[in-house]
Amino acid sequence: MNFRLARFAARRLGTGLLVLLIVSIVNFMLLAAAPGDAVDAYLAETGGAGGDAAGLRTAWGLSLGLWPRLCLYLSGLLHFDLGWSVAFDRPVVGLILERLPNTLLLSGTALAFAAALGTSMGILAGMRPHGIGDGILRALSLILSAIPNFWLGLMLMLLFTLKLAWLPLGGISSLTASEGSLSHVLDVAKHLVLPVSALGLGYAALYQRLMRAGMVQAAGEDYVRTARAKGLARRRILLRHMARNAILPVVTMLGLQAGTLLGGSVVIESVFAIPGLGRLAAEAVTRRDAPLLLGIILISALLVILINVLIDLVQSKLDPRVVRS
């Protein structure tokens, strides 16, 4: 069983690496095809009619053709070198490592929050389908999934920061707290409440609907009737028998959305001024910084692949049939 599981994981990782290679080549081409290069972006930023465009192109390695640049980049990758960011004038690795924790913290918390809230609301709604509680929850989820997350963010900010002054406005932490202390952790948590809600609520609504549908479907299954006939407690039937089956599509969805969530945080990171990977990616595009953008995409792809392997493993635990198929 363990050996099988390991082979299963290895196979998934193998395909993952191939995906990484394709992703990096395609993105390199796409960015190269966009009109204007890093030097154009820089000159547009600086203004004034001077600036030695040709000299900059040589210095930034842009005067080479597309293929030589791609080959250089790929050979760098083989040496685990993500290259030099032309827009920020420093190594890509450092930039990404600086921002990654913030994005992971934001997206991870939002995902966990969405999953926890969505599944529990789904269980509640699915307990008595078409009851009053279900109606309210369904209406709520419809509203939440229809609201764009940046707008929700601004509205939450208006209410909780401006009107009530309960929560801080933006950023990942206050500049005064010393890192590592308990007060720093609390401070970060306080800063995360609004962005995590803005990012997570829409996803929670989705999970709620998935979970509810699963619960309703499970309620009609034979094994639930059997469990009931055995005289098991209602609570046990709900959580052990129904919810365990109903949660499978939610877990699949979680895996699929891990990627979306990394990208979807661009807007939230801007609104709440969190220095994260999403904002960095947006800047990499406007500044035509190919090495930086590719670095971000590679790291994100790697994360998504890892998360999916993890999800596969979780699913195989929840439903042993997954490994066999």
Partner 1 sequence: MTRSLSRRRLLRTGTAAALGLSLPLRHPSAATTSKGGILKVAADTEPRNLNPAIVASNGVFFVASKVVEPLAEQAFAPNGAPIGQVPRLATGWEGAPDGRSVRLTLRQGVTWHDGQPFDSRDVAFTALEVWRKLQNLGQVVFASLEAVDTPDAATAILRFAQPVPFQLFRNAMPALTSVLPRHLYEGGDIMTNPANKQPVGTGPFRFVEHKEGDYYRLERHVGYWQQDQPYLDGILYRVLPDKGAIAAALETGDIDVAAFSAVSLADIDRLTQQEGMQVDQEGYEALTYQVMIEINHRRKELADVRVRRAIAFAVDRKQVADTIFMGRATPATGPVPRSDAQFFEESVPHYAFDPAMAERMLDEAGYPRGADGKRFSLSLLPAPWFEQTLQMGDYLKQALARIGIEAIITVLDPAAHQQAVYTDHRFDLAIGSPAYRNDPGISTTILYKSGIPAGVPFSNQYGYADTLMDNIIAQAAAATDPIMRITVFQRFQKYAGLQLPIIPVVDFTMLTTARPNVRGIAANPRWAVSNWADTWLA
Residues making contact with partner 1 (CB under 8 A): 34-38, 40-54, 59, 87-89, 95, 98-99, 154, 157-158, 161-162, 165, 168-172, 175, 270-273, 275-276, 279-280, 285-288
Q: How far apart are CA 315 and CA 102, in angstroms?
A: 28
Q: How far apart are CA 175 and CA 153, in angstroms?
A: 22
Closest separation between CB of residue 184 and partner 1, Å? Answer: 15
Q: How far apart are CA 179 and CA 243, in angstroms?
A: 40
Q: How far apart are CA 71 and CA 19, in angstroms?
A: 18
Closest separation between CB of residue 275 and partner 1, Å? Answer: 3
Q: Which residues pair with 85 in a beta bridge?
A: 90
Closest separation between CB of residue 45 and partner 1, Å? Answer: 7
Closest separation between CB of residue 44 and partner 1, Å? Answer: 4
Looking at the Cβ atoms of 87 and 117, the one nearer to partner 1 is: 87
Looking at the Cβ atoms of 86 and 246, the one nearer to partner 1 is: 86
Over its C-alpha atoms, the chain yields an Rg (Å, rounded) of: 24
Looking at the Cβ atoms of 173 and 308, the one nearer to partner 1 is: 173
Q: What is the largest CA-CA distance in the chain?
A: 84
- The three-state secondary structure class of 102 is helix
CA atoms within 13 A on the CB side of 83: 25
Looking at the Cβ atoms of 41 and 137, the one nearer to partner 1 is: 41
Looking at the Cβ atoms of 145 and 270, the one nearer to partner 1 is: 270
Closest separation between CB of residue 214 and partner 1, Å? Answer: 38
